[in-house]
Amino acid sequence: MLHNRSVAGWGNDRMLHNQSVAGWVNDRMLHNRTVAGWVNDRMLHNQSVAGWVNDRMLHNRSVAGWVNDRTLHNRSSPPTLESRSSSIIQIPLTLKITKPAEVCSYLLATRLFELFLSEMLTSLICICVIFIIVVAIATTFLRYWIQRRSAFQLPHIRKTKAGEVTPVIGFFHPYCNAGGGGERVLWVAIRSIQKRYPNVNCVVYTGDTDATGPQILERARQRFNITLKSHVQFVFLKRRRWVEAVKYPMFTLLGQSLGSILLGWEALQAFVPDVYIDTMGYAFTIPLFKYFGRCKVCCYVHYPTISTDMLEKVSSRTEAFNNASFISQSRLLSTVKLQYYKAFAYLYGVAGKRCHAVMVNSTWTYGHIQQLWQPSGHTHILFPPCDTSEFTKIYLREQIDSPTMNIVSIAQFRPEKDHALQIDSFHHFMLKKSEKERSKYKLVLVGSCRNGGDNELVEGLKQQCDTLGIAEYVEFKLNVSFQELKELMATSVVGLHTMWNEHFGIGVVELMAAGTVVLAHNSGGPKLDIVVNYNDQATGFLAEDVQSYSHALDTIFSLTARERLDIRKNARESISRFSEEEFEHGFLEVIEPLITNIQMRRTS
């Protein structure tokens, strides 16, 4: 029985084992079905891959066909520059993207380049912001330092004898002892201020370290017959050499302008006025005194540093004293110089536009300043003062009291005055005369020299006279006194002027006042403002080259003494608009609002 029970238990266990085996078999069958499904999916995937490969092969065949068609097209038609560039650019790009790995590399490189460019721009913006912040901080610090420093500079100038604080006007005129027309403007302006505002002090920034203040004032009295009522304070500058043209054989305009900034900074450190007036044309000093010195700034422009006429000469490749032949003969150099001039003209306009008030000396200068500066305020045409009162005392006679018929020129010895044209024209005129007739005529060149460069110019002119064989008929008069100048003008028949685009021409007005028959250059101030008809009659003659000057001299000397006298009288009557009284009135009208503003700011 026990044995049977064991057998029965074994049977039961066997049945359980068989059931387990059957379950395992069922699981295996399910697994096999899953594997079969996976195999079917894999087969479908392989079919898809095979299809993609077939499609890729078809694409490659299409690209190959396009290349063949492109080759046949290029063979059938002459290649052009565009077709060549297209084939060079497009075919490699198409071939580069035929592999998926290369597409990924191309996209990755593009993305990296975009990230690099973004980082560069971000860095550049940060640098610009930091630069602006540094400049702002430095400007604020320098302004504060200059203001603190100025409180201890020349304290006696800032107060009257009664101890009251008074405005100070500073005139920037590095060559105040030169004795030219610009210097007359300076001294008459100072005299007008002293008349109207006795308590206002004037300071002159000058580089004439070889003379003392009293010597400079004495020369002004001798040369211009101007005596100032009260003392003028001079601030002597030691860096004037930086604005001399001889220091910059190339890029002269830029060099002199940068030099003027250095000279202006020296002046600003020496003394800070309440009103700053540039009377010599150094426009790049104006922002210094406006932003660092906090001055009211204005200027009197005799001649723009650069003009549209200069741009035209370079553009047309015309040889001139400021456009050398080797530049005018080269298209490349002319193009480079033209772009340099345009860039400089832009900077010149930016600097000049900072002025609170602008005064110009002629219609010609007004037109150029309006075009270059586009000043926000009103620009005033203020003809420079001419000493007509003294020259009009010369009695006009039909016959000049002189053994020779003199042709006198009054101008500083500078390259732009073109004394060489005067000598060439006189030589051409003398060639038409016999040996006996030549002794009747004489050319007298009167002027002053500012520096060694001007002295060298005079020596060159003397050598030119020797070369042309007219040295005995030409006389040089340097740095003459005012009385001698009047005598030379009184004994001359013709007053000669040859500067191209002279801004105004004070010397021309003085020659007309003295009673000479004026022969001036047909440009600039003489053409537009001075040698113009008055009372419907001529006031002089105009010319522009050797032939026209020579012909005009023939015409003048062929006139009768009576005909010449009529022209001389009419010219003298026309110059009343160029008197010192007219200049003083106009100058005070411009400067008065600036002084009033300073006084109101002090009292408030």
Task: Kindly report the CATH number assigned to the domain that includes residue 279.
Answer: 3.40.50
Query: Tokens for 450?
Result: 């500012």
Give the distance, in angstroms, between the CA of residue 579 and the centroid of all CA atoms in the same chain.
32
Give strand ranges (E) for 265-332. Answer: 275-278, 296-301
Per-residue H/E/C for 131-150: HHHHHHHHHHHHHHHHHHHH
- Identify the residue with better confidence: 100 or 438: 438
310 falls within a domain: no
Are 178 and 240 found together in one domain?
yes
Of 536, 547, 488, 498, nearest to 519 by C-alpha is 498
334 falls within a domain: no
Single-letter code of the amino acid located at 157: I
247 falls within a domain: yes
What are the respective helix, strand and coil percentages of the chain, to the nearest 5? 60, 10, 25
**Which of the listed residues 122, 152, 182 is the one where a domain comes to its end?**
152
Contacts of 589 (CB under 8 A, 6+ apart): 380
Check residue 324 and give its pLDDT: 75
Check residue 457 and give its pLDDT: 93
d(CA 508, CA 497): 7
CB 553 within 8 A of CB 496: no
**How would residue 95 be classed by pLDDT, with cut points 50, 70 and 90?**
very low
539 falls within a domain: yes
583 falls within a domain: no
Are 139 and 176 found together in one domain?
no
d(CA 129, CA 133): 6
Are 137 and 282 found together in one domain?
no
pTM above 0.85?
no
The residue to which tokens 């219609």 are assigned: 363
67 falls within a domain: no
Q: How many CB atoms lie within 10 A of CB 472?
A: 11
Q: How many domains does the chain have?
A: 4
Q: Which residues pair with 541 in a beta bridge?
A: 519
299 falls within a domain: yes
d(CA 335, CA 288): 32
Are 403 and 493 found together in one domain?
yes
Which range marks the domain in which residue 516 is found?
390-578
**Which of the listed residues 15, 38, 54 is the one where a domain comes to its end?**
54
d(CA 158, CA 175): 25
Are 40 and 168 found together in one domain?
no
CATH number, residue 416: 3.40.50.2000
Poorest-pLDDT segment among 288-302, 387-401, 543-557: 387-401
Name the packing angle between helices 506-514 and 181-196 (round to 10°). 90
Q: Is the pLDDT of residue 216 over 90?
A: yes
Are 123 and 247 found together in one domain?
no
Q: Exposed (0-12), middle (13-18) or buried (19+): which is 415, by Cβ within 10 Å? A: middle
d(CA 550, CA 431): 10
Are 170 and 255 found together in one domain?
yes
Are 367 and 459 found together in one domain?
no
Are 147 and 202 found together in one domain?
no
Query: Tokens for 472?
Result: 């005995």
Are 423 and 508 found together in one domain?
yes
Poorest-pLDDT segment among 3-12, 104-113, 135-144, 498-507: 3-12
481 falls within a domain: yes
Highest average pLDDT, of 117-121, 184-188, 579-583, comes from 184-188
Highest average pLDDT, of 73-77, 372-376, 422-426, 592-596, comes from 422-426
Are 574 and 444 found together in one domain?
yes
Q: Classify strands 541-543 and 405-410 as parallel, antiparallel or unpaired.
A: unpaired
Query: How large is the average pLDDT for residues 104-123?
Result: 84
Are 137 and 214 found together in one domain?
no
Rounded to a whole number of angstroms, the CA Rg of the chain reads 44
